[in-house]
Amino acid sequence: MKAFAAWVMKGRMQAVIAATVLAMLALLVTPLALLSAAVIVLAVLRQGWKEGALVVASALLAIAGLGGLLFQMPLATLLIGGLLWGPAALLGTVMGRTGSLRLAIEAAALAAAAIVFLQYGLLADPAAFWGDALNEFLAQRVDPQTLDSSNIGALVDMMAGWMPGGVAATWLLATVSSLALARYWAALLDRPGAFGEEFRQLRFGRWLLLVVPVLLVVGVLLTGGEPSLIGQLYLIGMVVFLIQGISVAHGLVGEFGASPAWLVGLYLLLVFAAPQGATMVALAGYADGWLNLRARARARRSGTGGS
C-alpha cells in the first residue's frame, strides 16, 4: 500500500494514470471505483485543491479518450469520471483544509441527503422509477417463467420504495471508504499509525445525535414504516452511526489489547446478519455519541473512575 501511495504521489501523471486505469477497470470490478476515488482524495490531501483540480481535469480527458477509443462512448465515460471524482475532490478539499476525517464524513452525509432531495425533486415518483429499473434489471437476468412463478414482485415493490435513501446511503458508505483509504495512504507517507489513532477516536457532532431520532420518529415510526422523504434521510443517519459503531469496536479492541478476531467477528456480523447486525452496530455508535464508551472504558481500565 505504501509503495503504491508513494508512486501515485511522484507526480501528476502518475496520479492521473492510477485514477483513470482504476476507474476503467471498475467497469469490470466495481469496488475498484473506491480506489480510483481515493487516489483523487489523496492528491488533494497531499498537494492542495488546485493541483487536485488539475489531476481531475487531466483524468477526465484521459477517461473520455479511452471511452471513445475502447467503447465509442466518450461522453458516457466522461460522465462516470465526473460523478466519481468530482465529489471525491470536494470532500478531499474539506478534509485537507480542516484536517478532520470527521468533518469530511459529515459533509459527505449532507451530500448524501442532497442526493435524496434531488431524486424527490427531479423524479415525479421515485418509487415507480426505481421499480421500473429493478424490474428491467431482473428481466434481463432472470428467466421470465421464473419471475412469473415467484413472489419477487412484492419484494421489488418494497425495495423500490426505499431505493432513494438506499442509493444515497450506499454512496455515503462507498465515499467514506474512499476518504478513509486516502487518509490511510497519506498517514503511511507522513506519519504511520496516525490514521488508526484518528479512526479509533471518531465521534460525530451532537447535531446528528439530535437529528437522527427526529428522522426515525417522523419518517419511520409515524408513517408505520412506509417509505417517505424523511424516512430516506434516516437511512443516511444510520450509516453515519454505523461508522461510529465500527470506530467504537476498533477503539475498544485497541484499548484492551484484545484479539483482532473480535473485529473479524464484527465484520462477519455486518455481512451475514444484515440489516440486524448493522442496526446493532449503529445503535452502539449512537450510544457512544452520548456516553463516550471509549473514554469510560479507558477510565475504568486505568482505575481513574467512570461508570
Q: What is the pLDDT of residues 188-222, one digit of tens each?
A: 999 999 999 999 999 999 999 999 999 999 999 99
Closest CA to 241 of 284, 274, 201: 284
Is 137's pLDDT higher than 90?
Answer: no
Is 307's pLDDT higher than 50?
Answer: no
- Nearest-angstrom CA–CA distance, 124 and 63: 33
Buried residues in 58-85 as b, exposed as e (16+ CB within 10 A):
bbbebbbebbeeeeeebeebbebbeebb
Decide which of 112 and 300 is more confident.
Answer: 112
Is 141's pLDDT higher than 90?
Answer: no
CB 45 within 8 A of CB 92: yes
Is 304's pLDDT higher than 80?
Answer: no
User: Which residues contact residue 71 at a Cβ distance below 8 angstroms, ignoring those fewer than 6 apart?
Assistant: 77
Q: What is the DSSP code (8-state) at residue 218?
A: I
Name the amino acid, one letter, at 254: G
CB 178 within 8 A of CB 41: yes
User: Which residues contact residue 307 at a Cβ distance below 8 angstroms, ignoring those fewer than 6 apart?
Assistant: 296, 300
At residue 98 the predicted structure's pLDDT band, cuts being 50, 70 and 90, is very high
User: What per-residue confidence (pLDDT) applies to 142?
Assistant: 76
Percentage of the chain modeled with pLDDT above 90: 85
User: What per-residue confidence (pLDDT) applies to 3?
Assistant: 95
* Count of residues in the chain: 307
At residue 299 the predicted structure's pLDDT band, cuts being 50, 70 and 90, is confident
CB 113 within 8 A of CB 164: no
CB 109 within 8 A of CB 51: no
The string of pLDDT tens digits covering residues 149-174 is 667 878 888 899 999 999 999 999 99
User: Which residues contact residue 5 at a Cβ distance below 8 angstroms, ignoring those fewer than 6 apart?
Assistant: 42, 185, 186, 188, 189
Cα radius of gyration (the chain): 21
The string of pLDDT tens digits covering residues 22-76 is 999 999 999 999 999 999 999 999 999 999 999 999 999 999 999 999 999 999 9
DSSP codes of every residue in 254-299: HHHT--THHHHHHHHHHHHSTTHHHHHHHHHHHHHHHH-HHHHHHH
Mean predicted confidence (pLDDT) in 96-111: 97
CB 233 within 8 A of CB 113: yes
Is 10's pLDDT higher than 90?
Answer: yes
User: What per-residue confidence (pLDDT) applies to 206?
Assistant: 94
Please state the pTM of the whole predicted model.
0.93
**Cα-based distances in Å from 194 to 1, 45, 46, 89, 199:** 15, 15, 15, 22, 9
Is 144's pLDDT higher than 80?
Answer: no
User: What per-residue confidence (pLDDT) applies to 306?
Assistant: 44
**Cα-based distances in Å from 270 to 72, 180, 193, 228, 232:** 40, 18, 25, 25, 20
Query: 100: which 3 cell numbers?
Result: 478532520
The string of pLDDT tens digits covering residues 264-298 is 999 999 999 888 999 999 999 999 999 999 999 88
